């Protein structure tokens, strides 16, 4: 019970653009998350702590980006399968405004709210 009037090509374009943006910054993010190796004879303890914190933040950012890339692939497959825009919990249509904000949304607002409670 999806959207018969949903412009799938529009959402496919949004997803492809988002994927391209994420892939373009992926290279720099992977580099920043590499193991921190500092010369302890030249760098103080606070600098090492700053570098380790920056590394941890980069790793978290990379994990979020990878999860979003996977969600994009799921959404693109859903477009191909013809069930894009349907809540995977209740099979009701997801509000197009929600899809504009997050084209990878898989739950309607009611089901997403219930899961957060």
pLDDT digits (tens, 9 = 90+) for 10-66: 999 999 999 999 998 876 655 555 555 555 555 566 677 787 888 888 889 889 999
Structure tokens at 35: 């193991």
Residue-wise over 29-53: b if at least 16 C-beta within 10 A, else e? beeebeeeeeeeeeeeeeeeeeeee
Q: Tens digit of pLDDT for each residue in 68-81?
A: 999 999 999 999 99
């Amino acid at each position: 019970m999806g959207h018969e009037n949903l412009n799938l090509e529009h959402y496919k374009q949004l997803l492809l653009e988002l994927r391209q943006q994420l892939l373009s910054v992926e290279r720099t993010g992977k580099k920043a998350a590499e193991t921190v190796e500092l010369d302890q004879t030249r760098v103080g303890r606070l600098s090492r702590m700053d570098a380790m914190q920056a590394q941890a933040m980069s790793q978290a950012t990379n994990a979020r980006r990878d999860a979003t890339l996977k969600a994009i692939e799921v959404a693109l497959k859903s477009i191909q399968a013809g069930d894009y825009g349907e809540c995977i919990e209740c099979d009701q249509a997801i509000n197009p405004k929600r899809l504009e904000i997050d084209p990878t949304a898989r739950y309607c607002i009611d089901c997403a709210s219930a899961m957060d409670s």
